[in-house]
């Protein structure tokens, strides 16, 4: 097997929010694949970067009254920290807002110009006069021209599903300023992709560049008709790179984002002295992109077209994965299943998620589901019960003697596992890690009965059987080590721990072919704690408590957008009450209050006991039926709204002197109301 040179990328995370467990599907899938290739002895490099340009960043920086550069630097630091703690290791992690990227954009742009692919045309767009910016579709809301539903997004109606352009909205409003935008015309630059139609047809439909379902999708969706021009410029103001030969216009973020792959490589080459052309302009180098299905067309049509035109290597393969669902549903902030990487790390070991995703991922584009029960079962049964247990039940018997000098008879177990290694490698190579994990666990299922049959715990009581004891444990630990090698791409920490236990670092896949003999064995230490369901629930609770800062959690990577959930269920379940007068309303004295104490009531099934402060030393004791939805710890310190003049009521556990205001049907579906920033305890709600 000769060493391959392999360049790998993951989609660039957008610098507008933190990494969450949906993104991690992609970064972990890629990291596992890269680690596998490196373990196999190939020259494999993993490049990524933050995606930093676009209107969303500009708007957010403006809202936060700071420079875009400061915003994206902070985001990038957070991303890199999260990746590092999940053991996702890049050979270079750059930024699209770098000089390397600016230079490469200019160079590639020049090629596209020279190839005659650029044309200019006017585009009519809504313009927010007050914010002095053009508005992307999602920054406009208004009344649907078809069904007249109010407050609908700028591109399609969430009620009737009708598609339209923002300008067609009745009463359009800018989401930025709330003002009514006006239609303005501006010159945009377009790439005439149709000129590359034949090339793209051939490239997408031949070879193994794409998964079959993706090639088929492109053929049916895009390639069956003329490809539309791609609008790749945006007029000022825009956070991005100004187009050198078109002052006042900026490259659209999707033009410079994929070039970020190349720019990150360039940075690495400059740092290490590698030859750039060997990586991006050599037919000997494989290029693999890992992306989510939402950005398929950018990577399978635009991007190959750009590379081809600019004289760069084309992707060897674009690996496309599906989204993450949790408990069979889209990730949801209100349900606490929209879990940030940081929140996960506060409660759980990254190894769990690495293994869990590995056991679910295949080469298909299907979504994968994280069920909490399955997560616990897989981690505890597979990783701890089957795998780590092999070492844990045998290592200490040979702590003093080390491994036998000669590998003992083992009924062919080692040889079999060595042989299956090829099949496991094929599965990894094909990104079918779920198959790889199944094969590995099947090997663990052969190893545990071996120990069962040979009873080392009985042998150790017979001095005459000392050699047998050592032999049995030598077999067990070698079988364990084989599995650790096969799992090393997924569980690098476990591989390192195994290396320490057996005094021989795991550095190569081929180490699984030869048993270790005659070497010392270190004192066994716990390798991985079992996961407990309560840790998962604590994580979910913390996610719930993290209030959504804004409605935007999309990103260039494995984004999973949450859609507005404005159905009629809630209203149907609880119809509007009879009309009341203003005087009726003012009888109820609603006040902002701070939760200063919160505790469980031991015998109560639904209640939490709260102490609310109305400021100035005035407090009220309230029993609230929110136990299923909130943990006491997450309530202390937060502001709520309470009914302050409700008649006190004697309850079984004490007197309740008010109510906290919440919505929802009850049980776990209870949502406390919070005032916006600035409110202070004691203020009346009018």
What's the min distance (Å) between Cβ of 353 and RNA?
Answer: 15
Residue 381 within binding range of RNA, rule CB under 7 A? yes
**Residue numbers 626-645 binding RNA by CB under 7 A:** none
Candidate segments 383-391, 407-415, 484-492, 573-581, binder of RNA by CB under 7 A:
383-391
Work out which of 196, 210, 348, 388 binds RNA, going by CB under 7 A. Answer: 388
Alpha-carbon separation of residue 639 from 244, 253, 615, 659 (angstroms)? 51, 39, 12, 13
Work out which of 380, 433, 482, 543 binds RNA, going by CB under 7 A. Answer: 380
Residue 368 within binding range of RNA, rule CB under 7 A? yes
Task: Yes or no: say if 197 and 227 are a contact pair by the CB < 8 Å rule.
Answer: yes
Work out which of 293, 468, 513, 611 binds RNA, going by CB under 7 A. Answer: 293
**Residue numbers 522-561 binding RNA by CB under 7 A:** 526-530, 554-556, 559, 561
What's the min distance (Å) between Cβ of 321 and RNA?
Answer: 11
Candidate segments 80-88, 373-381, 498-506, 605-613, binder of RNA by CB under 7 A:
373-381
What's the min distance (Å) between Cβ of 630 and RNA?
Answer: 28
Q: Which is nearer to RNA, 123 or 604 (CB)?
A: 123
What's the min distance (Å) between Cβ of 217 and RNA?
Answer: 6
525: which 2 tokens?
Answer: 């230490």
Burial class (CB in 10 A: 0-12, 13-18, 19+), 332: middle
Candidate segments 246-254, 311-319, 332-340, 569-577, binder of RNA by CB under 7 A:
246-254
* Residues contacting 123, CB < 8 A, separation 6+: 185, 186, 187, 188, 231
611: which 2 tokens?
Answer: 């102490």
**Residue numbers 157-186 binding RNA by CB under 7 A:** 163
- Name the DSSP letter for residue 85: H
CA angle at 670 for the pair 667 and 676, rounded to the nearest 5°: 170
Work out which of 273, 328, 463, 602 binds RNA, going by CB under 7 A. Answer: 328
Closest CA to 176 of 138, 144, 124: 138
- Name the DSSP letter for residue 179: S
Residue 122 within binding range of RNA, rule CB under 7 A? no
410: which 2 tokens?
Answer: 């083992």
Work out which of 90, 109, 254, 279 binds RNA, going by CB under 7 A. Answer: 254
500: which 2 tokens?
Answer: 């320490």
Residue 253 within binding range of RNA, rule CB under 7 A? yes
* Residues contacting 99, CB < 8 A, separation 6+: none
* Residues contacting 339, CB < 8 A, separation 6+: 20, 21, 326, 331, 539, 540, 543
Rounded-to-integer distance, Cα 370 and Cα 563, Å: 20
Work out which of 114, 198, 277, 452 binds RNA, going by CB under 7 A. Answer: 452
Rounded-to-integer distance, Cα 641 and Cα 71, Å: 33
Q: Which is nearer to RNA, 366 or 465 (CB)?
A: 366
Closest CA to 480 of 499, 463, 455, 464: 499
Q: Which is nearer to RNA, 12 or 269 (CB)?
A: 12
Candidate segments 48-56, 141-149, 201-209, 269-277, binder of RNA by CB under 7 A:
48-56
What's the min distance (Å) between Cβ of 33 and RNA?
Answer: 18
| Pairing mode, strands 152-153 and 170-174 | unpaired
Q: Which is nearer to RNA, 49 or 629 (CB)?
A: 49
Candidate segments 179-187, 274-282, 294-302, 582-590, binder of RNA by CB under 7 A:
294-302
Candidate segments 173-181, 259-267, 293-301, 538-546, binder of RNA by CB under 7 A:
293-301
Candidate segments 263-271, 453-461, 624-632, 664-672, binder of RNA by CB under 7 A:
453-461
**Residue numbers 68-87 binding RNA by CB under 7 A:** none
Rounded-to-integer distance, Cα 597 and Cα 636, Å: 6
Residue 393 within binding range of RNA, rule CB under 7 A? yes
What's the min distance (Å) between Cβ of 383 and RNA?
Answer: 8
Task: Yes or no: say if 196 and 309 are a contact pair by the CB < 8 Å rule.
Answer: yes
Residue 510 within binding range of RNA, rule CB under 7 A? no
Q: Residues 200-239: x/- map of binding to RNA (CB under 7 A)?
A: -------------x--xx--xxx--x-xx-xx--x-----
**Residue numbers 567-606 binding RNA by CB under 7 A:** none
Handedness of CA 265, 267, 272, 277 (dihedral sign): positive
Residue 417 within binding range of RNA, rule CB under 7 A? no
Burial class (CB in 10 A: 0-12, 13-18, 19+), 41: middle
Residues in the chain: 686
String of DSSP letters for 437-494 = HHHHHHHHHHHHHHHHHH-HHHHTT-GGGHHHHHHHHHHHHHHHHHHHHHHTTT-HHH
Residue 16 within binding range of RNA, rule CB under 7 A? yes
* Residues contacting 593, CB < 8 A, separation 6+: 612, 613, 614, 620, 639, 640, 641, 642, 644, 660, 681, 682
Site for RNA (CB under 7 A): how many residues? 79
Dihedral over alpha carbons 340, 345, 350, 353 (to 10 degrees): -40
What's the min distance (Å) between Cβ of 14 and RNA?
Answer: 5
Rounded-to-integer distance, Cα 487 and Cα 355, Å: 9
Residue 445 within binding range of RNA, rule CB under 7 A? yes
What's the min distance (Å) between Cβ of 621 and RNA?
Answer: 37
Work out which of 47, 90, 241, 252 binds RNA, going by CB under 7 A. Answer: 252
Burial class (CB in 10 A: 0-12, 13-18, 19+), 617: exposed
Q: Please state whether the peptide bond connecting residue 237 to the residue before it is cis, i.e. omega within 30 degrees of 0.
A: yes
What's the min distance (Å) between Cβ of 136 and RNA?
Answer: 4
Rounded-to-integer distance, Cα 272 and Cα 274, Å: 6
Q: Which is nearer to RNA, 140 or 610 (CB)?
A: 140
What's the min distance (Å) between Cβ of 57 and RNA?
Answer: 7
Alpha-carbon separation of residue 631 from 332, 363, 635, 642 (angstroms)? 19, 40, 7, 18
What's the min distance (Å) between Cβ of 102 and RNA?
Answer: 18
C-alpha R_g of the chain? 30
What's the min distance (Å) between Cβ of 453 and RNA?
Answer: 7
Task: Yes or no: say if 302 and 259 are a contact pair by the CB < 8 Å rule.
Answer: no
**Residue numbers 425-444 binding RNA by CB under 7 A:** 434-435, 441-442
What's the min distance (Å) between Cβ of 139 and RNA?
Answer: 8
What's the min distance (Å) between Cβ of 425 and RNA?
Answer: 16
Q: Which is nearer to RNA, 179 or 216 (CB)?
A: 216
Residue 377 within binding range of RNA, rule CB under 7 A? yes
Closest CA to 508 of 125, 145, 38, 187: 38
Candidate segments 3-11, 289-297, 313-321, 631-639, binder of RNA by CB under 7 A:
289-297
Work out which of 18, 145, 237, 385 binds RNA, going by CB under 7 A. Answer: 385
């Amino acid at each position: 097997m000769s060493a391959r040179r392999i360049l790998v990328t993951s989609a660039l995370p957008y610098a507008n929010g933190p990494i969450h467990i949906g993104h991690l599907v992609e970064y972990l899938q890629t990291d596992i694949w890269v680690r596998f290739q490196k373990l196999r002895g190939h020259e494999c490099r993993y490049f990524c970067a933050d995606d930093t340009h676009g209107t969303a960043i500009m708007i957010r920086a403006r809202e936060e009254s700071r420079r875009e550069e400061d915003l994206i630097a902070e985001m990038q630091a957070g991303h890199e920290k999260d990746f590092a703690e999940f053991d996702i290791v890049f050979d270079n992690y750059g930024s699209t807002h770098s000089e390397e990227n600016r230079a490469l954009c200019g160079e590639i742009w020049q090629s596209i110009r020279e190839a005659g692919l650029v044309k200019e045309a006017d585009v009519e767009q809504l313009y927010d006069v007050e914010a002095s910016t053009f508005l992307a579709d999602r920054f406009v809301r208004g009344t649907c021209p078809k069904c007249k539903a109010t407050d609908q997004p700028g591109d399609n109606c969430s009620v009737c599903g009708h598609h339209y352009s923002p300008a067609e909205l009745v009463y359009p409003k800018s989401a930025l300023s709330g003002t009514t935008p006006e239609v303005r015309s501006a010159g945009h630059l377009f790439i005439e992709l149709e000129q590359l139609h034949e090339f793209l047809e051939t490239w997408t439909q031949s070879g193994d560049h794409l998964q079959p379902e993706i090639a088929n999708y492109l053929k049916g969706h895009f390639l069956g008709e003329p490809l539309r021009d791609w609008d790749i410029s945006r007029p000022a103001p825009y956070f991005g790179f100004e187009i050198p030969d078109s002052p006042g216009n900026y490259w659209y973020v999707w033009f410079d984002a994929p070039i970020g792959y190349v720019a990150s490589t360039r940075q690495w080459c400059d740092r290490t002295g590698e030859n750039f052309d060997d990586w991006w302009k050599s037919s000997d180098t494989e290029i693999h992109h890992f992306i989510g299905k939402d950005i398929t067309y950018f990577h399978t049509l635009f991007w190959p077209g750009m590379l081809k035109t600019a004289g760069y290597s084309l992707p060897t393969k674009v690996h496309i994965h599906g989204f993450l669902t949790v408990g069979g549903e889209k990730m949801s902030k209100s349900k606490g299943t929209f879990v940030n990487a940081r929140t996960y790390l506060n409660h759980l070991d990254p190894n769990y998620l690495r293994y869990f995703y590995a056991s679910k991922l295949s080469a298909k584009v299907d979504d994968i589901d994280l069920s909490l029960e399955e997560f616990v079962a897989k981690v505890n049964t597979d990783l701890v019960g089957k795998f780590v247990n092999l070492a844990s039940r045998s290592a200490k018997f040979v702590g003093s003697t080390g491994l036998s000098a000669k590998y003992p008879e083992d009924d062919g177990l080692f040889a079999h596992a060595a042989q299956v290694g090829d099949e496991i490698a094929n599965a990894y190579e094909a990104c079918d890690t779920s198959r790889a994990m199944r094969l590995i666990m099947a090997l663990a299922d052969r190893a545990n009965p071996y120990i069962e049959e040979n009873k080392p715990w009985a042998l150790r009581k017979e001095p005459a059987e000392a050699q047998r004891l050592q032999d049995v444990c030598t077999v067990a630990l070698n079988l364990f080590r084989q599995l650790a090698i096969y799992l090393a791409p997924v569980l690098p920490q476990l591989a390192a721990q195994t290396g320490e236990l057996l005094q021989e670092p795991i550095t190569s896949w081929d180490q699984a072919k030869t048993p270790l003999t005659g070497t010392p064995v270190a004192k066994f230490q716990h390798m991985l704690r079992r996961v407990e369901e309560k840790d998962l629930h604590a994580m979910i609770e913390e996610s719930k408590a993290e209030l959504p800062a804004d409605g935007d959690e999309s990103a260039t990577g494995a984004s999973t957008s949450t859609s507005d959930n404005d159905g009629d269920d809630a209203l149907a379940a609880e119809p509007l009450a009879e009309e009341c007068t203003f005087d009726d309303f003012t009888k109820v004295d609603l006040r902002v209050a701070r939760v200063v104490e919160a505790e469980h009531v031991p015998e109560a099934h639904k209640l939490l006991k709260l102490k609310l402060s109305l400021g100035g030393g005035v407090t009220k004791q309230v029993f609230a039926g929110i136990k299923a939805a909130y943990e006491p710890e997450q309530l202390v310190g937060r502001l709520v709204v309470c009914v302050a003049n409700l008649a006190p009521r004697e309850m079984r556990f004490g007197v309740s002197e008010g109510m906290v205001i919440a919505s929802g049907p009850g049980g776990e579906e209870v949502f406390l109301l919070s005032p916006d920033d600035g409110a202070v305890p004691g203020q009346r709600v009018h």
